[in-house]
Amino acid sequence: MAAAGNASMARRLRPPDLWLSIDESMLPEAAPWDWDLRPLAEGLPAHPLIRSSRDGFPPPGDVIRAAVEQAAVGFADKEIVDELLDGIEDDASCTRGTLLCAPHGGALRFFSEAQKKLDKNEERGWATGGWELPCWPIRASPYSMVDETARAGAPKFRITNDMSWPHWGMMMDSEGSFIESINGSIDRSRWPVNRLPRANKLAEAAAILKSSGAPCALWGFDCEAFYRKMGRQRAQLWRNAIATLHGFQLDERCCFGSAADATKCCRVSNLVAHAIRVTRAALHFEAALEAIQWLGHESSPTKEQPPWPTAGRPRGGISLDSLGVEFDLELNRMRLLPAKCDSYATSVREILQETTCIKDDLIRILSKLQFAAGCLPKGRQWLSPVWRAAKATFRTGDGERVLLPRRARDGLHQWAFTLESGMHVGVPLAHTEFPPMGKPGVGAVYADASGLQGWAAWTAHQGEIFLTHGEWTEEELADSTFSIAEKELLASTLGLITLAPITDLRYVYSFTDNTNAMSAMRRLKPRSIRAERMVAARLQWMEQRGILEAAERITTGANLWADLGSRLQASEVVRQAQALGLRVRVVEAPPEWRGATWTDEPHPSPTQA
């Protein structure tokens, strides 16, 4: 039906998945082994699947093993080198048995594209097909097609083997136990930590090299079918089959859909980086390509970004595009590419079409925007109400959904508008040290709040102490939702906006003894609606005046004067300062800031009052 173009009917007629245990599908004499039945097609007897090894029966794949052994000298991850030479393991502990699954709906919908991908697997030697039954037992996982046309800007599809199928709780065996998927049975705690490089780390590295004064150029490449170059452990091939029109296809290479392959291929990329470093001309683009080819991989020519200008990239060596981010040495910045901005904005607008959305869809968007916030830091504050909404899920008839309240929708609208506006200029390649105390325009504001009395903040400037303080109103004391963290944040905010202008501060060290308040100031991640409004207002105020802030932690004992002032003992602060020969000036906080309620009811922002 799918071949005839009727994907809808094909989905309805899709046969149910079938599970056959070892006890009910194998003779006791044969049950201990996983059988390779492919020799039967040549009139030869079947035999147990042979474990591949570098010294005996090597795994499939294009990896040049002699080069790998040479490159691995001094490389720390010996385990992945062994698997590269002997065959990549799937690390699964799922129950042995036969699982037969038809393709997913995506493969039925894009049936012709799926057939092309399956044919390509065999043409490129990545898989063998047409088998009536290549192994027993056999796991024929479902597969699907992912349409990547929108991201690629041209027709493009990716085939994925769903090794997370069946999901936990979907199927039971004859003994009443749930059947685990390949991915679901993996003990991932055994894997070494393999942190992928972040975009901002590449930007920092570029800035460091550039600051040395030596010539610096950016380059990049993208391997052609990187996963497919590496062969599987032959003894585990029975777990990597799919059902096709012409029988079973046995995939002998690493593939998309395997959790183990995704992690281990990333670890293999570390070996590539190690090989580049041990090459004599380590900083040359040609050396990187040579290392790739040396290990049996290929660079995709259309994706190469050499460190010199080309017809397609006139700014080659000056800028680099990676992960949807542009790194620019000339402008000294990192920013989202326009296509990435458009893609993210479109996804956000789709979420905003209804008042509720599917939780998984929202989490995917939030993850993308978290990444985008690396280039647009002030956008982090807009995500806080959306994350809160995502945690307050409720159930409706069509699954788990999230209600998007006004504040969450406002945050998403702000993201969409900013991404669509073309005003995104990015961030510097790397942050610099905050200027030290004593430099012109640099000062410190110490703030504190007490739960039941008041707040205070002070700073020193040219031998004079500037002090601002106040009491909590009856309404504030009666408000049980006004937490101490919010009071501490308000104290720091009032100290900043009151004291920084009159002391001509451009760089402010804000000291607080409350970690939640510090996090809200430093990371723009407030934990409540009231704190969210404060953060938004103080950030807008600083942007308008070109003031930068570094939030720092201070112990209560070291924050003596702010603590005294918050406990309505400002006169004692004045006495101690004068005893030290310092002049003291008491300053009133701006009434439009002190009088703001910071609750969820709409009211003018202090920055607009």
**pLDDT tens readout for residues 471-482:** 999 999 999 999
Does residue 118 come out as left (phi exceeding 0), alpha (psi in the -120 to 50 range) or beta?
Answer: alpha
CA distances, 113 to each of 86, 187, 226 (Å): 33, 34, 21
Distances (CA, A) of 117 to 120, 122, 148, 248: 5, 9, 14, 15
The arithmetic mean of pLDDT across residues 53-58, rounded, is 91
Residue 599 has pLDDT above 60, yes or no: yes
Residues 191 and 43 in one domain: yes
How many residues can be counted in the chain? 609
3-state class of 395 per DSSP? strand
Specify whether 447 is located in the same domain as 570. yes
Q: Is the residue at 215 inside a domain?
A: no
Q: Which helix (H) or strand (E) holds 320?
A: strand 319-322
Q: Is 316 exposed, middle or buried (0-12, 13-18, 19+ CB in 10 A)?
A: buried
Same-domain check for residues 181 and 66: yes
233 pLDDT more than 90: yes
Look up residue 186 and give its two tokens: 């993996």
Domain boundary among 206, 234, 255: 255
Q: Mean pLDDT across the stretch 199-227?
A: 90
- pLDDT tens digits, residue range 287-344? 888 889 989 999 999 899 888 788 888 888 889 999 999 999 888 899 999 999 999 9
Interacting residues of 209 by C-beta distance below 8 A, sequence separation 6+ = 216
Greater model confidence, 114 or 175: 114
Is there a domain that residue 270 lies in? no
Token couple for 355: 């008042």
Domain co-membership, 161 together with 22: yes
Q: Are strands 97-100 and 139-140 parallel, antiparallel or unpaired?
A: parallel
Buried b (16+ CB within 10 A) or exposed e, 184-194: bbbeeeebeee
Reported confidence tier of residue 461, pLDDT bands at 50, 70, 90: very high
Mean pLDDT (the chain) is 90
Question: Which tokens sit at 102?
Answer: 């038809």
CB atoms within 10 A of CB 571: 11
The owner of tokens 């065996």 is 173
* Burial class, 509, CB count within 10 angstroms (exposed 0-12 / middle 13-18 / buried 19+): buried
The answer on pLDDT for 555 being more than 90 is: yes
Domain count, the chain: 3
Indicate the DSSP class of residue 376.
-
Q: Is residue 313 part of a domain?
A: no
pLDDT of residue 151: 79
Q: What is the pLDDT of residue 396?
A: 46
Same domain, yes or no: 489 and 370: no
Give a yes or no: residue 471 inside a domain.
yes
CA-wise closest residue to 106 among 17, 7, 183: 7
Whether the per-residue pLDDT at 525 is higher than 90: the answer is: no
Structure tokens given for 517: 């308040």
Q: Would the pLDDT of 280 be above 50? A: no
Backbone angles phi, psi at 257, to 5 degrees: 115, -20
Through-space distance between the first and last CA atoms of the chain, rounded to whole angstroms: 66
Using the predicted structure, report yes or no on whether residue 350 has a pLDDT greater than 80.
yes
- The answer for residues whose C-beta is within 8 angstroms of residue 539's C-beta and 6 or more apart is 378, 381, 524
Of 373, 406, 428, the one marking the end of a domain is 428
Mean pLDDT of 505-519: 95
Token readout for 121 is 């697997």
Together in a domain, 21 and 169: yes
Q: Which two tokens stand for residue 254?
A: 């690493």
213: which residues sit within 8 A by CB, 6+ positions away?
Answer: none
| 599 located within any domain | no
Last residue of a domain, one of 381, 401, 428: 428
Which CATH number belongs to the domain containing residue 526 in this structure?
Answer: 3.30.420.10
Residue 62 counted as domain residue = yes
Q: Give 7-52 pLDDT, tens digit per residue.
A: 889 899 999 999 999 999 999 999 999 999 999 999 999 999 999 9
Residues 63 and 96 reside in one and the same domain:
yes
Q: What was the pLDDT predicted at 307?
A: 82
Q: Do 454 and 417 share a domain, yes or no?
A: no
Q: Which domain holds residue 241?
A: 7-196+226-255
**Do 507 and 362 belong together in one domain?**
no
- Give the pLDDT mean for 511-535: 89
575 burial type by CB count under 10 A (0-12 exposed, 13-18 middle, 19+ buried) = exposed
35 & 160 share domain? yes
Question: What is the per-residue pLDDT for 507?
Answer: 95
Give residue for tokens 């992960």: 323
- Give the pairing of strands 325-328 and 427-428: unpaired
The answer to whether residue 175 sits within a structural domain is yes
Q: Judging by DSSP bridges, how do beta strands 399-403 and 325-328 pair with one another?
A: unpaired
Query: What pLDDT score does 607 carry?
Result: 55
Is 585 inside any structural domain?
yes
pLDDT greater than 90 at residue 426: no
Widest Cα–Cα separation across the chain? 103
Instruction: Tell me: do 398 and 524 sit in the same domain.
Output: no
CB-based contacts of 324, cutoff 8 Å, min separation 6: 336, 337, 339, 340, 343
**Cα(175)–Cα(185) distance, integer angstroms:** 18
pTM score > 0.75 for this model? Answer: no
If asked whether residues 474 and 420 sit together in one domain, one would say no
